[in-house]
Structure 1
Amino acid sequence: MTATVRLTTAQALVRFLAAQYTERDGARARLIGATWGIFGHGNVAGIGQALLEYADVMPFHQGRNEQAMVHAATGYARQSGRLSTHAVTTSIGPGATNLVTGAALATVNHLPVLLLPGDVFATRPADPVLQQLEVPYAGDVSVNDCLRPVSRWFDRITRPEALVPAALEAMRVLTDPVETGAVTLALPQDVQAEAYDWPEEFFAERVWAVRRPGADPAELAAAVRLIRSARRPLLVAGGGVHHSRAEDTLCEFAATTGIPVASTQSGKGSLRFDHPQDVGGVGHTGTAVADALARTADLVIGVGTRWTDFTTASGTLFAEPGVRFLNLTVAPHDGHKLAGTPLIADARTGLSELTAALRPHAYRVADDYAAEYARGKAAWERGVDACFTAADPDARPTQEQVLGALDAVVDATDVVINAAGSLPGDLHRLWRARSRDQYHVEYGYSCMGYEIPAAIGVSLAAPGRPVWALVGDGTYLMMPTEIVTAVQEGVPLKVVLVQNHGYASIGGLSEAVGGERFGTAYRLPAADGSLTGAPLPVDLAANAASLGMRVLRATTVRELGSALLEARDAATPTCVYVETATADTVSGAPGGQAWWDVPVAETATRPSAVRARESYERQAMTRRRHL
């Protein structure tokens, strides 16, 4: 007879999660490292009680905002190489719907996170309950169904015994390199607290092997033929390089072949910035050298990238008439994009197999091609130096000089986090990544508010390393709440708060597409009612201090450098607040190196929109479909 143990559904779930592990390359990690929670009537008596019951085996973190908790878990998962993540529990109603944005971010970026929202009563003893959404045409719908399209796996546990197959399937998806993302187990509040006789085997330690599939021999042979026939190949490194921990293998491939390596936002840092084959970011926010190579490449090798819009520059960047694409990816869905030749394999395994297969042919790019990109790389680095250097150290810094000041104080152990605003473009173009995980820019969803909670997650995954959350004032105002969590838990994150009085990046885009920066500045109303008056009289540094952070104010380049050094050594959460120079005193950082397709009003009376449409139509004529 099978031995059983009587527990509530919530207790069984917590015990089960505490016994799950991943293993890759002989290294084992705990799959669910901790649980984040905000409790309400939908989960306090169920999973809340269970987390208290098993506090010795499941660490708990108290959050302030449900979306932020998901961001923290996602940051932890990315820093952990997708081998470990956190769970997030909320009550029903607004607590559950606040998960949606964080879930979408995790799924878009292929990062595992487990969501455990409370749900309405499965047995309907009271109907409707507080916070229940009544749907006239369906009795089995709750607000948690909003999580279906942003989850890679969703289930509602309407009976205790249904947890067994659902929990196992959830773990399978979380650990699958192709399918991973947000996983949701909706937990009706009565079922959470219901007792059941569980088989003891359900709680046994379970190890989920993370696969490294190799390439099909025929696909590998086709890939080798493509590379050998290429005169001007370019490799584009995506986030899959980091997920696979393929950085050293990519370094060997690049050194062996001489093929230059550009990077997406997710892939930046795949090679160190000073590696001879690293040519920087590619696409709309790319470097001049990378985008020039992309325009003339006859073969583009995508490794671990899903070819998003900024990377492909809306089908206009890769302009060589006969250009071909080779897509090395673990995901078959991405392997055929841009009419590419698929090489379906784990990034590290596939690159290793490619390098070995090319060695007998002694393939290497021509010396004149290598010299060309070396000159371009050197010229670009001189431009970065110019952007980072302030002629007057006692002047207010530009945003680029803020990055230059930070660049001067970090080393390979620091992690720099950003997600939205004008900073991702400047970082992609200018930041000098010193290690495989120093550059942490979430640009798959580009979610304002990600940075501070993600920095907490990264700090928990990499204790002892300096972690920087770079935020503009717009992003800061979206979600500063987890500063309180960092203070509570003693997480010494460093926040660089850049005050530029509004949504600067969208303001610039608005101006470019004829929108005249409408609704993008943080200003008081002018006499005509438009938001063009004086800047809002807010003090975000005082706000950060009120939430418990130590705040260092910097008004000049010189003060900024000193403040960043002090913050780096701080053992408590510390904010460096700096107001950047106005638009007419910027350092002249280069603009977009490739076109980004943002549709412009086809008809308008305002001259700015008319001019923008004319420019748009000229650029749109260069579109192409790679067939």
Structure 2
Amino acid sequence: MKTTVTLNMAAALVQFLQRQYIRRDGVEHRLINGVWGIFGHGNVTGFGQALEEHGGRGLPYLQAKNEQGMVHAAVAYAKTRQRLGTFACTSSIGPGATNMITGAAVATVNRLPVLLLPGDIFANRRPGPVLQQLEYPGSQDVSVNDCFRPVSKYWDRINRPEQILTALPEAMRILADPAETGAVTIAMPEDVQAESYAYPAHFFEKRVYTVARPACPTDDLRAAVALIRASRRPLIVAGGGVHYSDAVAALDAFAAATGIPVVVTQAGKGAILDAHPSCLGAVGVTGTAAANAIALESDLVINLGTRLSDFTTASKSQFQHPRVRFIGVNIHAADAHKHGAVPLIGDARTILGQLARALAGWRVPASHRAAVKRHRATWDATRATLVSPKRGVTLTQAQVIDELNQACGTDGTVIHASGGIPGDIHKLWRSQARDDYHSEYGYSCMGYEIAGALGIKLAAPQREVYAFLGDGSYLMLHTEIVTAVQEGLKLTIVLVDNHGFGCIHGLQRGSGGNSFGNEFRHRSGANHRLEGKPVDVDFAKNAESLGATGIRAHTREELRAALVQARAAKGVVLIFVTTPADVRLPGYSWWDVPVSATSKVPGVRSARAAYDRAVKKQRFYY
């Protein structure tokens, strides 16, 4: 029996990745499901050649058109798969590598696994400085790949081929661990990729990383149950952790049994369906009037699988009960302790079961259930008004969302990430299925939507996937349309055009400022500012030039027909809709965006006075 296998480092890496698995509830899944890549001199003759020779079906190669885009696709895939599998992404040294850094931040901020394998400068240093090498005067051992360190959960540089024996198992452990996962970066010097080593044969045996479902300690559970039983107006804030632990059914049953109302974060949308009588919808800055009204008065908040971003907490102004307490249910200890919560550290589904058994027969007071029912009814009426026709306006973004919501049904998934869309869709979307809503709002990365839609479709090919984005985000990163066409994947892209970075323009104007730098306009006037006519872009033609089908929709009826046409079509369809930039939905909470304290602009001075009043509502919970 051979005890060693002689391979170059890149080939050993390919062989190793094909034999990594993750297991939860007795079901195994492949951990690394393929490699996204764009080759250059830093990886084509090493890792690229190894993929061609040793990859095959076990580690398929997907060709991206932008390095950032391929990381987005991998992240969206991992999110759709509840973190039970991801992709590796490889690039050449230099700009190819640094293009992946934004994607790495998206992964780590959202606690989603992705393996990044950038090429790196020569370990032997003989030909340095090589093409694309950064010369750092303070060290000979720094390259642009060191920029990945702060946005990676694990980072390593392989300077000798045998170093993968210790680096790769640790990298896989981090990827598979729900409490530690995020971007993992293994920098691969160009020369080392091609160097050989006699690797132990058992290094290439199948490895399975088990995702456990730990329960929380009995003493912490007892303290949490006492708080719940003593509360009069409790509330559950459901985050992405509910999805990742596959706890949707458990939350549905727990809310039904106890009557505790549930509000959802962006990542938690769909954790409870909107038809559930305990569901109040979105909470926080992008929340519904119903959810935020209940949150203001809640005396106990159960943070279920959420990291409590500033949008969720309305910059720590959302929970105003003078004696409000918190319970934190999370696999991540730091998240479980936030707001001075009683920490229930463990698996969300397991802990919901523990709580359900300990609270058997207990329900919230009838007065609280009545208040929830009343606020739900009021919001239903308000929502109907928000999506109704507006005089003098052909089609609003709210109406686009309503039509898309209906078209999506139970077998579709909408994906969004940036601009004004997340604020509107979080309020208005009514989840009909647990996986009909995919939001990247941890990093709110422009350009995520189309690339992310690829990842969803690869993870769930049976679902209709709708990428919903604005013109600003589309212009930043739309080239993965070509990849979707190349791979024969069906996507529907709904693009709303408001001639600029409309969300930030609205924030700018809403804070008393003048319009400056956010609209897509020609230069004009004596000061030669960007104040001329809007720059007209035919996005339908642009998509057609990349291999998609372009459809223009000017009215609600045309949009409805376009969505029907897109569902019946094959391949990529882009629906181009123009919406007014100045028709916006109201907000029902506050967000801390500091306004100049010394501006001479009257509107800014007024906004500053309002800011000074609002900031006094911020609470320090401990």
Scaled to the shorter chain, the TM-score interval is over 0.9
Asked whether 1:54 is paired with 2:54, we answer yes
Equivalence for 2:134 = 133
Distance 1:65 1:582, change over 3 A: closer
**1:364 deviation in Å?**
0.4
Query: CA separation in 2, counterparts of 1:43 and 1:29?
Result: 28
Asked whether 1:376 is paired with 2:375, we answer yes
Equivalence for 2:590 = 595
Query: CA separation in 2, counterparts of 1:27 and 1:387?
Result: 44
Asked whether 1:354 is paired with 2:352, we answer no
**1:396 deviation in Å?**
2.4
Query: CA separation in 2, counterparts of 1:341 and 1:574?
Result: 48
Query: CA separation in 2, counterparts of 1:161 and 1:341?
Result: 45
Query: CA separation in 1, counterparts of 2:581 and 2:175?
Result: 45
Equivalence for 1:557 = 556
**1:582 deviation in Å?**
5.2
SS of 1:544 mapped into structure 2: helix
Query: CA separation in 1, counterparts of 2:352 and 2:514?
Result: 47
Asked whether 1:13 is paired with 2:8, we answer no
Q: CA-to-partner distance for each residue in 1:556-613, whole Å, 9 max, x for gaps?
A: 1111100011112222111111111352xx4x63x22111000111111111211111
SS of 1:88 mapped into structure 2: strand
TM-score by length of 2: 0.98
Asked whether 1:461 is paired with 2:459, we answer yes
Query: CA separation in 1, counterparts of 2:545 and 2:383?
Result: 36
**1:506 deviation in Å?**
0.6
Q: What percentage of aligned pairs have identical amino acids?
A: 53
Equivalence for 1:364 = 363
Query: CA separation in 2, counterparts of 1:236 and 1:379?
Result: 20
Q: CA-to-partner distance for each residue in 1:177-206, whole Å, 9 max, x for gaps?
A: 110000000000101011111111111111
Distance 1:195 1:415, change over 3 A: same
Query: Does structure 1 conserve the Cα–Cα contact (< 8 Å) formed by 2:513 and 2:601?
Result: no
Query: CA separation in 1, counterparts of 2:151 and 2:577?
Result: 36
**1:2 deviation in Å?**
6.0
Query: Does structure 1 conserve the Cα–Cα contact (< 8 Å) formed by 2:242 and 2:305?
Result: yes
Equivalence for 1:175 = 176
SS of 2:147 mapped into structure 1: helix
Query: CA separation in 1, counterparts of 2:389 and 2:605?
Result: 37
Query: CA separation in 1, counterparts of 2:608 and 2:237?
Result: 31
Alignment of 1:223-622 (within 5 A): 223-359=224-360, 362-390=361-389, 396-527=394-525, 528-581=527-580, 583=582, 586=583, 589=585, 591-622=586-617
* 1:32 alignment partner AA: I
**1:540 deviation in Å?**
1.8
Query: CA separation in 2, counterparts of 1:240 and 1:516?
Result: 40
Query: Does structure 2 conserve the Cα–Cα contact (< 8 Å) formed by 1:19 and 1:205?
Result: yes
Distance 1:582 1:174, change over 3 A: closer
Query: CA separation in 1, counterparts of 2:242 and 2:83?
Result: 12
* 1:625 alignment partner AA: F
**Gap runs ≥5 in structure 2:** none
Query: CA separation in 2, counterparts of 1:118 and 1:170?
Result: 17
**1:389 deviation in Å?**
3.4
Query: Does structure 2 conserve the Cα–Cα contact (< 8 Å) formed by 1:396 and 1:579?
Result: no
Query: Does structure 2 conserve the Cα–Cα contact (< 8 Å) formed by 1:177 and 1:211?
Result: no
Query: CA separation in 1, counterparts of 2:481 and 2:248?
Result: 33
* 1:377 alignment partner AA: R
Query: CA separation in 2, counterparts of 1:515 and 1:109?
Result: 32
Aligned pair count?
A: 620
After superposing on structure 2, the runs of 4+ consecutive aligned residues of structure 1 that deviate more than 3 Å are 389-392
**Gap runs ≥5 in structure 1:** none
Q: CA-to-partner distance for each residue in 1:334-366, whole Å, 9 max, x for gaps?
A: 12111111111111111111001111xx21011
* 2:101 alignment partner AA: V
Query: Does structure 2 conserve the Cα–Cα contact (< 8 Å) formed by 1:388 and 1:405?
Result: no
Equivalence for 2:37 = 37
**1:55 deviation in Å?**
3.3
Query: CA separation in 2, counterparts of 1:530 and 1:319?
Result: 45
Query: CA separation in 1, counterparts of 2:274 and 2:616?
Result: 34
RMSD: 1.3
Query: CA separation in 2, counterparts of 1:469 and 1:463?
Result: 15
Query: CA separation in 2, counterparts of 1:358 and 1:437?
Result: 29
